[in-house]
């Protein structure tokens, strides 16, 4: 009978420093997430060309953008559930295979219907990859280093969004919209190191009773740390953890009910606004302000770049500031630039560019770190599924955002779009201040027994 326990495996992980092996894990998973982000936004930079080439109506544009997010909703829930049963790495392999395959299919789309179908199926893969990857990375590191370690991985997502803007700016005017999807094929080469270099999550293995396998992986981490001169402290065991199997109903029981509802509200509010803005802005610059294609794409890239800078600042500071205080402040601050656009009617393009970029940068710090926060609020037996269900509301918000932009800009002008977004962010600030739980610096097993 093994002397190892779930608690001892977790305690040994908690005391580990960030080794070269852990950094390699972050790098490889980060590369997959980078192209997941690129794939999500690629359509936004292809759209200004497709609108004219395929003579798309505003409704068709909204459906192409929104159905990708609906697919992501299904993928986040389904693959999150599957990751609790067959493991984090197997599911990551499946999701990457799916979204790369559909990237190829998008190259052969000939109109709105075929693109909607391709983006919907592709969304299932992209929707599943990030929550499962987030659970995996979160489980590999201790509490004191978790925020910075995880967010320096997660910052790769907004960098992927920015990269989509760069590719759109330089390649789409010269080579057409298909260039966006050709670049998206790069993740195919990532599947080899993903299989060869990545160990399964020892916390997940331990939670499934596979304690010897978990011990082997943690022992390798410990040997790597000691080989580099680290002196490991004695493990400090957490209180005995629940031995119950994962069950979806637990999301709505005990302490997890309030956390689940709070997280769903935050996911929806953040992504309705952020993806409503970022996916439509290049098309709005082109169609409303009549800017040249390259200028429209450049302005979209500027907004994405502002989000990356703000995300890096957040990654470096959020462990000190705390999740709850950061989110409440960011939600409230972002209301002001969007409110200013609503009151002014968004009458000049520079006015829109500056204030949208400011609001996007502020809200992006919440968006990219919510995977960290969600994974902290659930136990290992629920972590991937709970994070996946939370990020399903990301997809609902993301699919609603472009539809809101299309509806209000057509009927009331773009100033009303920004008024709606400001109200949504104000709601997010209220939910955070009333219901958010602080998690900074606390072991996962203490936060979520």
Q: Which of 382, 428, 392, 422 is nearest to 404 (CA)?
A: 422
Confidence band of 338 (pLDDT split at 50, 70, 90): very high
Instruction: In whole angstroms, give the CA distance from residue 341 to residue 322.
Output: 30
Check residues 107 and 174 and name the one with the higher pLDDT: 107
Whether 2 shows a pLDDT value over 60: the answer reads no
Q: Which two tokens stand for residue 326?
A: 């950061």
Check residues 71 and 277 and name the one with the higher pLDDT: 71
pLDDT at residue number 3: 54
The C-alpha R_g of the chain, in whole angstroms, comes to: 22
Whether 350 shows a pLDDT value over 70: the answer reads yes
Instruction: In whole angstroms, give the CA distance from residue 301 to residue 154.
Output: 19
- Number of alpha carbons in the 13 Å side-chain half-sphere of residue 303: 31
Instruction: In whole angstroms, give the CA distance from residue 150 to residue 143.
Output: 11
Q: What is the pLDDT of residues 245-289, one digit of tens each?
A: 557 788 888 899 999 999 999 999 999 998 888 777 887 788 778
Token pair 């539809």 is found at 403
Token pair 């919907």 is found at 120
- For 54, phi then psi, to 5°, come to -100, 0
Whether 117 shows a pLDDT value over 70: the answer reads yes
pLDDT (mean) for 406-429: 87
Instruction: In whole angstroms, give the CA distance from residue 229 to residue 234.
Output: 16
pLDDT (mean) for 224-247: 71
Instruction: In whole angstroms, give the CA distance from residue 141 to residue 139.
Output: 6
Contact 306, 367 (CB under 8 A): no
Instruction: In whole angstroms, give the CA distance from residue 105 to residue 300.
Output: 25
Whether 244 shows a pLDDT value over 60: the answer reads no
Whether 345 shows a pLDDT value over 90: the answer reads no
Q: What is the DSSP letter of 328?
A: H
Token pair 């998973």 is found at 29
Would you tell me how many other CB atoms lie within 10 Å of the CB of residue 111? 13
Q: Which of 200, 197, 228, 199 is nearest to 17 (CA)?
A: 228
**Low-confidence winner among 108-117, 145-154, 417-426 (lowest mean pLDDT):** 145-154
Confidence band of 91 (pLDDT split at 50, 70, 90): very high
Instruction: In whole angstroms, give the CA distance from residue 241 to residue 409.
Output: 52
Whether 1 shows a pLDDT value over 60: the answer reads no
pLDDT at residue number 187: 67
Q: Which two tokens stand for residue 427?
A: 């709601």
Q: What is the pLDDT of residues 387-399, one digit of tens each?
A: 888 888 887 887 7
For residue 284, the SS3 value is helix
Would you tell me how many other CB atoms lie within 10 Å of the CB of residue 88? 27
Torsion region of 345: left, alpha or beta (phi above 0 gives left; psi -120 to 50 gives alpha): left
pLDDT at residue number 365: 93
Number of residues assigned to the chain: 449
Distance of CA 223 to CAs 7, 199, 218, 285, Å?
20, 15, 9, 55
To the nearest whole number, what is the mean pLDDT of the chain?
85
pLDDT at residue number 151: 80
- 170 contact partners, CB below 8 Å, separation of at least 6: none
Whether 204 shows a pLDDT value over 60: the answer reads yes
Whether 69 shows a pLDDT value over 60: the answer reads yes
Instruction: In whole angstroms, give the CA distance from residue 433 to residue 436.
Output: 6
């Amino acid at each position: 009978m093994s002397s190892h326990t779930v608690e001892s495996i977790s305690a040994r992980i908690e005391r580990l420093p960030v080794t070269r092996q852990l950094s390699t894990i972050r790098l490889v998973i980060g590369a997959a997430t980078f192209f997941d982000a690129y794939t999500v936004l690629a359509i936004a930079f292809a759209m200004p060309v497709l609108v004219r080439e395929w003579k798309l109506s505003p409704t068709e544009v909204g459906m192409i953008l929104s159905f990708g997010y609906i697919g992501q909703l299904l993928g986040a829930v389904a693959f999150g559930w599957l990751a609790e049963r067959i493991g984090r790495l197997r599911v990551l392999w499946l999701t990457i295979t799916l979204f790369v395959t559909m990237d190829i299919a998008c190259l052969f789309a000939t109109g709105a219907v075929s693109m909607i179908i391709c983006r919907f199926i592709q969304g299932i893969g992209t929707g599943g990859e990030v929550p499962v990857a987030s659970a995996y990375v979160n489980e590999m590191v201790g509490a004191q280093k978790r925020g910075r370690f995880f967010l320096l991985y997660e910052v790769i997502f907004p960098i992927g969004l920015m990269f989509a803007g760069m590719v759109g700016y330089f390649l789409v005017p010269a080579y057409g919209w298909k260039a966006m999807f050709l670049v998206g094929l790069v993740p195919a080469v990532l599947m080899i190191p993903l299989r060869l270099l990545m160990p399964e999550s020892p916390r997940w293995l331990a939670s499934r009773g596979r304690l010897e396998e978990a011990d082997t992986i943690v022992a390798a981490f410990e040997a790597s740390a000691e080989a580099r001169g680290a002196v490991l402290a004695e493990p400090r065991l957490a209180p005995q953890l629940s031995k119950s199997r994962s069950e979806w109903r637990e999301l709505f029981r005990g302490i997890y009910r309030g956390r689940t509802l709070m997280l769903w509200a935050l996911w929806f509010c953040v992504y309705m606004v952020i993806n409503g803005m970022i996916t439509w802005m290049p098309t709005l610059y082109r169609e409303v302000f009549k800017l040249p294609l390259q200028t429209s794409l450049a302005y979209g890239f500027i907004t994405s770049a502002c989000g990356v800078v703000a995300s890096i600042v957040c990654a470096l500071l959020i462990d000190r500031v705390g999740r709850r205080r950061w989110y409440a402040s960011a939600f409230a601050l972002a209301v002001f630039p969007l409110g200013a656009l609503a009151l002014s009617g968004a009458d000049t393009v520079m006015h829109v560019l500056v204030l949208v970029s400011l609001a996007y940068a502020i809200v992006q710090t919440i968006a990219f770190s919510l995977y960290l926060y969600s994974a902290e609020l659930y136990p290992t037996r629920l972590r991937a599924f709970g994070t996946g269900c939370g990020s399903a509301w990301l997809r609902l918000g993301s699919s609603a955002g472009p539809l809101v932009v299309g509806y209000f800009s057509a009927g009331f002008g773009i100033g009303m779009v920004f008024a709606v977004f400001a109200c949504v962010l104000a709601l997010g600030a209220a939910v955070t201040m009333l219901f958010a739980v602080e998690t900074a610096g606390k072991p996962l097993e203490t936060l979520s027994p």
